Structure 1
Amino acid sequence: MEANVVRYYRFGEPGEVLQIETKAPLVPGPGEISVKVRARPINPSDVIPIRGAYPHRITLPAVPGYEGVGVVEAVGPGVPKQMLGKRVLPLQGDGTWQDYVTISAKFAVPVPEDIDDDTACQLYINPVTAWLICREALRLTHGDVLVVNAAGSAIGRIFAQLSPIFGYRMIALTRSDRHTSELLRLGAAFVFNGAEDSVRERILEATAGQGATAAIDSIGGPEGEKLVRCVKTDGTILSIGLLSGIPALWHEAVRGTQVRVKPFYLRQWVRNSSQEEWAAVFEHVLRLVQEKKLAMIQIGAKFELTDVKRAILAAESGIQGKVLLLS
């Protein structure tokens, strides 16, 4: 049986470097399972590495994709047969942009029946990152104010929904007014246009002249650097993305201030966390989804995995909602 695989052998524009190949699914080894992936989202964190933004992290050739949902089709020695047919999130294996992924069974997160594939395939990168930032990295609570740029993104909407859960106030920065009403409905306290020269003054006004407790930068470059002037004297900025493709010059931006800038790497937390910690975080996220306190971004379009190049064009064209790749 042949399975489709999306792979790239060099960095560059996805339309030029991505190739569709076929291979036989791997037989799972001891402690492993083979998962037939049914749906996976296209996230910026999937596409940015293809263009070469993080060459030191990627070993070529590579298969893109960090998350998805599928069904266990084979188990290796030492794995209970009861896992066969279970719907899971196949995490921490090879990239998910392929029909079959072989992973360690301990990194398979069972998906409750009342969570559909469209939601389930998005339950890792953005929700877990946002949850860990709020609870562990920043320890946000009542009285704190969090500024989030690119707030109309999938993760920006999650930070808005987590604000009433943790008790912080969120100031959402966007480039388009079309996100304003939804972000306010989801839980943001304020929505400002991040491109306006007066955005710092508006944030100071909203925080009684103090500035925000912390900020989340998903953009990088000059847009990220602007956040330094929007947080308190000893505030914290977490860098979690590079949507602009341009690294921020943080050492220059924070010169003469006490503002701390730190990167947040989900993979680092995964590497250092115990199985119990891993399971506990997903338990929290899954419960919030089941209780309808946390919703993933709507689906904007669906494409077959083999139509990946057209799917990426759609995802980056400004389409409303998440683009999925289906098998």
Structure 2
Amino acid sequence: MLEIRRTPVVPPGPGEIRVRMLARPINPSDLIPVRGAYAHRIALPAVPGYEGVGIVEETGPSVPPELLGRRVLPLRGEGTWQESVLAPAGLAIPVPPDIPDETAAQLYINPVTAWAVCGALRLKYGDTLVVNAGGSAIGRVFAQLAAVFNYELIAVTRSEAHTEELQRLGLAHVIVTAGTPLREAVLSKTGGRGATAAVDSIGGPDGAALAGCVRPGGTVFSIGLLSGVPADWAALSRLYRVDARPFWLRHWIRHASTADWFGAFEEIMELVRDGRLSLMKIAAGFGLDEVHAAVAAFESGRAGKILLTGGR
């Protein structure tokens, strides 16, 4: 349950910054702890929100004063669905002036996850990646990264609604699952070999079907649970002789060096500035005091991103 509360403003401690938030998108991962699904690792009550952009308005001891007034992504700090957040200064990502707020606010969860997955899978020329939820925000990122990593992408969708846009973004094939046996369709598009790897955002029967599309010895990463139903990845690994397992961004972050952390954002922002990576258009913006309406708009399936802007 979401509540709007007033809390005291705490000054930043050593190595911290306080960031006045400008914009934060609503992602499926933001609502999972709200519904209590992460209770084993997130103590409630808590402030939701994993990404967003804001302006540094206060710095703590030992923080370079030149950060004041800079636009940054205040990541790996507090939840972003509040007027201002505390975050580690050493991990804040400066945002170039030519990247607008609505784009900057989306630079973390989907682009970095997709970037990290492509790196972990070591995708290269000649590889075929198949992803489900192909019309989602992260599906669109995988479509555009195909040209960067030189892999061939097969996007699985539930309707024709996203086909034209996905093809414009550069992917090789779209498979619409309505009335189409997925395994046979993927085998047909890969010369009978199956995909090199797969990325599942749905779980349940959809995730299981995706695992069956990967050739023996390949890899299946589970990055989401849109269905709310986990797949039995251990059983699927044995059945299809693949390496099927969850891929969590938080684990990548835990093991990433500072150079990896900043390097990923540097590469992603360069792709955005060059026009090689475009993120979701904004469907609607809501103030923080309209958060319930914002979540309702998100859950209605409205096309485009729902943005929480400014403060109350």
TM-score, normalised relative to structure 2: 0.97
Shift of 1:269: 1.6
Task: Give the aligned CA root-mean-square deviation in angstroms.
Answer: 1.1
Identify the residue that residue 44 of structure 1 maps to in structure 2. Answer: 28
What amino acid sits opposite 1:74 in the alignment? E
- Does the 8 A contact of 1:236 with 1:261 survive in 2? yes
Residue 67 (structure 1) aligned with residue 24 (structure 2): no
**1:22 aligned counterpart, secondary structure:** coil
**1:276 aligned counterpart, secondary structure:** helix
**Residue of 17, 26, 35 corresponding to 1:33:** 17
What amino acid sits opposite 1:158 in the alignment? V
Residue 96 (structure 1) aligned with residue 83 (structure 2): no
What amino acid sits opposite 1:110 in the alignment? P
- Does the 8 A contact of 1:308 with 1:325 survive in 2? yes
Sequence identity of aligned pairs in percent?
Answer: 57
**2:118 aligned counterpart, secondary structure:** helix
**Residue of 182, 203, 222 corresponding to 2:186:** 203
Spell out, residue by residue over 1:224-259, the C-alpha distance to the aligned partner (whole angstroms, 9 max, x if none): 111121110122100000111111122333333311
Matches of 1:25 and 1:289, distance apart in 2:
34
Matches of 2:128 and 2:257, distance apart in 1:
30
Matches of 2:142 and 2:49, distance apart in 1:
22
Matches of 2:247 and 2:177, distance apart in 1:
22
Matches within 5 A, 1:35-184: 35-135=19-119, 137-184=120-167
Residue 266 (structure 1) aligned with residue 288 (structure 2): no
What amino acid sits opposite 2:181 in the alignment? S
- Does the 8 A contact of 2:159 with 2:177 survive in 1? no
Matches of 1:247 and 1:52, distance apart in 2:
16
Shift of 1:107: 1.5
What amino acid sits opposite 1:42 in the alignment? I
- Gapped runs of 5+ residues in structure 2? none
Matches of 1:99 and 1:141, distance apart in 2:
42
What amino acid sits opposite 1:113 in the alignment? P
Runs of 4+ in 1 over 4 A off after TM superposition: none
Spell out, residue by residue over 1:131-155, the C-alpha distance to the aligned partner (whole angstroms, 9 max, x if none): 11112x1000010000110011100
Question: Does 264-273 or 238-247 show the bigger shift?
Answer: 264-273
Identify the residue that residue 208 of structure 2 maps to in structure 1. Answer: 225
**1:94 aligned counterpart, secondary structure:** coil
Would you say how many aligned residue pairs link Structure 1 and Structure 2?
A: 310
**1:161 aligned counterpart, secondary structure:** helix
Identify the residue that residue 23 of structure 1 maps to in structure 2. Answer: 7
Question: Does 207-216 or 253-262 show the bigger shift?
Answer: 253-262
What amino acid sits opposite 2:19 in the alignment? V
- Does the 8 A contact of 2:21 with 2:83 survive in 1? yes
Matches of 1:288 and 1:57, distance apart in 2:
34
- Gapped runs of 5+ residues in structure 1? 1-16
What amino acid sits opposite 2:309 in the alignment? L
